[in-house]
Structure formats: C-alpha cells, structure tokens
Amino acid sequence: MICRNDRERQGMRAAGRMAAELLRSVGERVRPGISTAELNELTRELMERAGTVSASYHYGPKKNPYPGYACFSLNDIIIHGIPSKDILLRDGDILSVDLAIFYKDFCGDNTATFRVGKVSPSADHLIRGTEEALMAGIQEAVAGHYVNDISAAIEAVARREGYGIVREFVGHGVGREMHEEPQVPNYTLPQRGLKLRPGMSLAIEPMFTLGSADIQNDPDGWTVRTRDHSLAAHVEHTILVTENRPEILTLP
Ligand code: MF3
Ligand code: CO
C-alpha cells in the first residue's frame, strides 16, 4: 500500500476538507419534506460551484452506473441509496449521506447519518454508537498498529451496544482512487492485516444496525437494506496515519 509524501498529504488534506464542507452543506438542508432527489440536485450544484467532481456519479458497472452525486440512504437502507423524488424525508427518519469527491487528483470520502426532525431514542443511540465506533477505530490508526486493531475497536463498540455489524461492505484505502488497498473491516479477522505506516490514508466507515445485520439488495442493483428492515447507521472519515496521532482529513 502506498505511503504518501508531504505533497500528496497536502493534496489529501485539500480533498478531505472539500468533501467535509460539501457534506456539511448538504446536511444543513436535511429536514422533513425535502426529497432525496432535491438533496442530490443540491449536491450536484455545490460540487459544480466548488470546482470538484463526484467520485460516486457514474461509478460502477457500465450497464448500471450509480446515478447520484452522493448516496442517500434512508432508515433501513444501509448504503448506496439512489436519490428519488419519491423519497420524501419525514420527521423521525434517519438519513445517511455518503459523499465522495475528487479534488485536484485526490479523493476525499465521508459519510454522516443525519436526524430528520426529532428521532426516537433508539435511532439516536444507534447513530451515537456508530459515531463512537468510528472515533474508536480512528484512534487505533497509529503507525505500528495493524488494520485489525482498527476493526477490533469498532467491533467492541457494536458488541457492547448489541448492534449488528454489516459484513459485506468495509472501509478501504483511499488516495488517487476512491477504493484502494487495504480493506478495513468493521469486525475482526484471525489475521492482523496490514501493518500501518505513516502516510497511509484510509476511509474508516462502520455500518451498524439496530436489528440483524443481514442485508437485502434491491432490484435497482444498488440499494442495500437490512433484511429485517431495522434501522441502519453509517458514518465515515478519511484519515491519514502519521508519525504521531492520526489526522482526520474530512473535517470542514
Ligand atoms: N463513497 C462510498 C464509499 O464509502 C462508495 C460509493 S460508490 C457509489 O466507499 F457508487 F455508490 F456511489
Ligand atoms: Co468509503
């Protein structure tokens, strides 16, 4: 896996900050009554104005490329929710927005789960737990540790809270491409995985569920839901392993 030099680290920082600022701006518009198609159009406009390019738009197979500028995953949708004028946000919903961009040759990838109006205590707790797991995972992203240390810290929070951990989708290296080596699972493996070194950049992204973590794929070829339709939360940061503490790149 690639370790980035100072110039590349600066590029990753710029892309990360751009991704974070866009995600925050989109999040400010999350409210009851808006559709995910409207949020997607806002995302498109904001990206164009900022001179940056969605990493998700037209990603994937040629015969069914992803059609949105970010992913909008409502309630039981775990990831890859396709924006639609028919998906209207309602009070009490939770919406994960996964926004990834290319800015000056580097990718910034981040996700937040937003509360629509006032949500139930269990939904609120799920989001908090997923955010706590992300931060716990990031704290382990220290030179000399292994990828599995990140996974273990994330898994520990899910186990403590009794949440399901989605296994089919994982975090990843991120740099000049959106998805690079290594994979960063949200559950432990028997192997330690790759040893972390300064200059590695990773997207860490726990996906937790209130019920079973079994998934179901919609016929659209993208949308991934919980099979039992329980709520799912997803949060993500792009981080840099350094000589010292990990650096979170996707902060506004
Ligand atoms: N940004 C996502 C990730 O966190 C990938 C989105 S792929 C898309 O890795 F095509 F669905 F947008
Ligand atoms: Co990602």
CATH number for the domain including 94? 3.90.230.10
Among 26, 36, 71, 250, the mutation site with the greatest number of ligand 1 atoms within 8 A of its Cβ is 71
Q: Is the previous residue joined to 182 through a cis bond, with omega within 30 degrees of 0?
A: yes
What is the structure's pLDDT at 1?
A: 75
The Å distance, Cα 252 to ligand 2 centre, comes to 17
Q: Which of 85, 94, 26, 95 is nearest to 54 (CA)?
A: 26
Tell me the per-residue pLDDT of 189-234, one tens digit each, with 9 for 90 and over: 999 999 999 999 999 999 999 999 999 999 999 999 999 999 999 9
Query: What is the helix (H) or strand (E) element at residue 171, kind and residue range?
Result: strand 171-173
Q: Output phi, psi for 152, to 5 deg.
A: -65, -40
Looking at the structure of the chain, the number of domains it has is 1
79 Cα nearest atom in ligand 1: 11
What rounded mean pLDDT belongs to the chain? Answer: 98
Distance, CA of 251 to CA of 18 (rounded, Å) = 9
Is residue 195 one of the residues assigned to a domain? yes
Please give all residues whose beta carbon lies within 6 A of any atom in ligand 1, as ranges.
56, 59-60, 66, 71, 80, 98, 100, 109, 203, 205, 236
User: What are the pLDDT digits (tens) for 130-149?
Assistant: 999 999 999 999 999 999 99
* Residue range 3-19: mean pLDDT, rounded: 98
What is the band of 2 on the pLDDT scale with cuts at 50, 70, 90? confident
Could you list the residue range(s) of the whole structural domain that residue 189 is in? 6-248
Q: Is residue 1 part of a domain?
A: no
Q: Give residue 194's pLDDT.
A: 97
Could you tell me if residue 134 is inside a domain?
Answer: yes
Provide the percentage of residues in the chain whose pLDDT is more than 90: 99
Q: Is residue 154 part of a domain?
A: yes
pTM value > 0.85: yes
Residue 205 CA: nearest ligand 1 atom is 4
Choosing from 59, 169, 217, 235 the residue with most ligand 1 atoms within 8 A of its CB, the one to mutate for a pocket test is: 59
% of the chain with per-residue pLDDT over 70: 100
